[in-house]
Amino acid sequence: MRSAELDRRKVVRSLLERRGALLVVAGLGSAAWDCTAAGDHPLTFPLWGAMGSACMMGLGLALAQPKRRVLVVTGDGEMLMGLGSLATVGVQRPANLAVVVLDNERYGETGMQKTHTAYGVDLGAIARACGFEARIVRKSAEIAAMRSGVYRGRGPLFYQVKVTPETLPLALPPRDGAYLKQRFREALLGGKSTA
Amino acid sequence: MPGKTSRARAVVAVWPDAIHHALKSQGVRQVSYVPDAGHKRLIELCHADKDMTVVPLTTEEEGIGLAAGAWLGGERAALLMQSSGVGNCVNALTLAANCAFPLLALVTMRGERGELNPWQIPMGQAAPDALRLMGVRTMRLGRAEEAGATVAAAAKLAFEGHGAVAVLISQAMIGVKSFGDKP
């Protein structure tokens, strides 16, 4: 196994700067903190629970908004809990959906225990077998191509980004789920958000 | 009274059609499911409906996330499952409870009346309480002729009341899976 050199916060900042009309769902834990560190945004829905649901929320959003790009940013542990959702996305094949898994091979919120990817389980191969265009990202030089895929590539796309396992300062989004939901709908749907 | 009997049979045969009509009239655009024999016709109707995006799931909890994402994007979703799937949904239901995401689940009941598979009984019996424990409002559908009105009312409760609602479709209405047993 090669050691991971990528800094997860820099990776996410690179994806979310100049984000235009991008819609984002962030999986619980470090992935949500990374997105918040890049700038809290009404069109980012950060999860604080419902582990394993990020990819499916991205799918529901992508199907509802086929003209907008949808990005799911999550961790390897969260993705592992919802592996079946990769198969479900594979049936729908939404062209506007990208899933970025920040893979530090650890459960970062619970004591840095190893996840299945640390033992060699290949998330990218699983996603590819489900019908995603799947890539692994290990180097800074590969981030630009990933960003291009997220904003312009034909989905469903899956990027497994090998990042350094480290505990970073918390960057917490708002905790009120009803607020997070409504601000997202207002920003996206405007006057129809209360319908 | 042969007339009444045949009319009753006709109502029984078309209740999934009435549910499909109710879903359409309430603006439901995404329909996800883990199949159940009791939902067979409704699933077929939804697949045949070009205004609906139908999403087969690997496990029922996926449908909770899908419905939340659909709502973020301005669409209404419904989730079809049998009662054994309720247990799979429990933690995901925190989305509905915490965020007031609407959820419309149509649950065909097993394990409650004439069940011939004892393994269906524990989850079937616990399903209504499990839903209520997680804050899901439950409505009972026990008569075929009430199917359309009940599902329409549940949809209003979910999408206009911003809550999670499950319609529990009685096993007596669906019939019992036989396993070739003699009665």
Q: What is the pLDDT of residue A66?
A: 98
Provide, as residue numbers in chain A, all residues whose Cβ is less than 8 Å from the Cβ of B100: 177-178, 181
* Contact flag A82-B62 (C-beta cutoff 8 Å): yes
Q: What is the mean pLDDT of residues B10-16?
A: 75
CATH code for position B125: 3.40.50.970
pLDDT in tens, B65-77: 999 999 999 999 9
**Within a domain: A1:** no
Range of the domain at A44: 8-194
CATH code for position A113: 3.40.50.970
* Contact flag A84-B74 (C-beta cutoff 8 Å): no
**In chain B, how many domains are there?**
1
Query: Is B75 an interface residue toward A (CB < 8 Å)?
Result: yes
Q: What is the pLDDT of residue B113?
A: 82
Query: Is B91 an interface residue toward A (CB < 8 Å)?
Result: yes
Q: What is the pLDDT of residue B116?
A: 86
Q: What is the pLDDT of residue B175?
A: 78
Share of chain B above pLDDT 70, in %: 91
Residue of B118 and B141 predicted with greater confidence = B141
Is the ipTM higher than 0.90? The answer is: yes
Q: What is the mean pLDDT of residues B2-24?
A: 77
B98 pLDDT above the threshold of 50? yes
**Within a domain: B71:** yes
* Contact flag B58-A85 (C-beta cutoff 8 Å): yes
pLDDT in tens, A50-82: 999 999 999 999 999 999 999 999 999 999 999
Comparing CB atoms, the residue among A45, A61, A84 nearest residue B59 is A84
Alpha-carbon gap: A68 to the closest alpha carbon of chain B (Å)? 10
Provide, as residue numbers in chain B, all residues whose Cβ is less than 8 Å from the Cβ of A54: 65
Cβ atoms of B52 and B28 closer than 8 Å: yes
Query: What is the Cα–Cα distance from A4 to A104, expressed in whole angstroms?
Result: 8
Residues of chain A with confidence (pLDDT) below 50: none
Q: What is the pLDDT of residue A41?
A: 98
CA dihedral B153, B155, B160, B164 (to 10 degrees): 110
Q: What is the pLDDT of residue B180?
A: 77
CA distances for B30 relative to A50, A178, B57, angstroms:
20, 22, 12
**In chain A, how many domains are there?**
1
DSSP B118-176: GGGHHHHHHHHHHHHHTT-EEEEE--GGGHHHHHHHHHHHHHTTTSEEEEEE-HHHH--
What is the rounded average pLDDT for all residues in chain B? Answer: 92
Instruction: Name the band, by pLDDT with cuts 50, 70 and 90, for residue B183.
Output: low
**Within a domain: B54:** yes
Enumerate the β-bridge partners of residue A46: A26
Q: What is the pLDDT of residue A160?
A: 98
Instruction: Please count the other Cβ atoms lying within 10 Å of the Cβ belonging to residue A115.
Output: 22
Instruction: Please count the other Cβ atoms lying within 10 Å of the Cβ belonging to residue B88.
Output: 18
**Within a domain: B183:** no
Provide, as residue numbers in chain A, all residues whose Cβ is less than 8 Å from the Cβ of B68: 53, 57, 60, 181
DSSP B20-67: HHHHHHTTEEEEEE---GGGHHHHHHHHT-TT-EEEE-SSTHHHHHHH
Range of the domain at B133: 2-173
Query: What is the Cα–Cα distance from B9 to B13, expressed in whole angstroms?
Result: 6
Please report where in the chains the tokens 């069109």 appear, as a residue.
Answer: A43
Name the pairing type of β-strands B76-82 and B53-56. Answer: unpaired
**Within a domain: B69:** yes
pLDDT in tens, B41-61: 999 999 999 999 999 999 999
Q: What is the pLDDT of residue B7?
A: 60
**Within a domain: B182:** no
B12 pLDDT above the threshold of 80? no
Question: Most B CBs within 10 Å: which of A51, A56, A74, A79, as the mutation test of the B interface?
Answer: A56
Cβ atoms of B104 and B111 closer than 8 Å: no
**Within a domain: B57:** yes
Alpha-carbon gap: B139 to the closest alpha carbon of chain A (Å)? 23
Q: What is the pLDDT of residue B1?
A: 45
Report the predicted TM-score, pTM, of the whole model to 2 decimal places: 0.95
Q: Whats the size of chain B, residue-wise?
A: 183
Query: Is A44 an interface residue toward B (CB < 8 Å)?
Result: no
